[in-house]
Structure 1
Amino acid sequence: MKINTALLQEITAIAEEAGQAIMTIYARDFSVEEKADKSPLTEADQAAHNLIIERLGPLLGGVPILSEEDTEGFPGPDAQGRYWLVDPLDGTKEFIKKNGEFTVNIALIENGRPSLGVVHAPDLGRTYIGWPGEGAWRIDTDGKHTITVVGEHGGPWRVVGSRSHASPKMAQWLEQLGEHEMVPMGSSLKLCLVAEGAADVYPRLGPTSLWDTGAAQAVVEAAGGKVLAPHGEKLDYSRTDEVLNPHFLAHGRRVIDWPAWGD
Structure 2
Amino acid sequence: MPRWLKRLGRRLARSSRVREGLCALAAAYIRLVWTSSRWEVIGGEVPDRLWRANQPFVLAFWHGRLLMMPYCWNRAKTMNMLISQHRDGQFIARTVARFGIRTVTGSSSHGGHAAMRSMLKALRAGESVGITPDGPRGPGFRASIGVVSLARLAGVPVVPVSFSTAAGPMLKSWDRFLVPWPGRCGVFVWGQPVVVPRNADGNTLEVCRQAVERALEAATREADRRMGRITAPEDQSHEDQPGDAPSKSTFSPPDPLRTDDRNVI
Give the TM-score, by structure 1 length: 0.31
Query: Could you state the TM-score of these two structures normalised by the residue count of structure 2?
Result: 0.31
The structure in which a higher percent of residues are helix is 2
Q: Name the structure, 1 or 2, with higher relative contact order (CA <8 Å, separation 6+).
A: 2
Rg: which structure is higher? 2
- Structure number having the greater strand percentage: 1
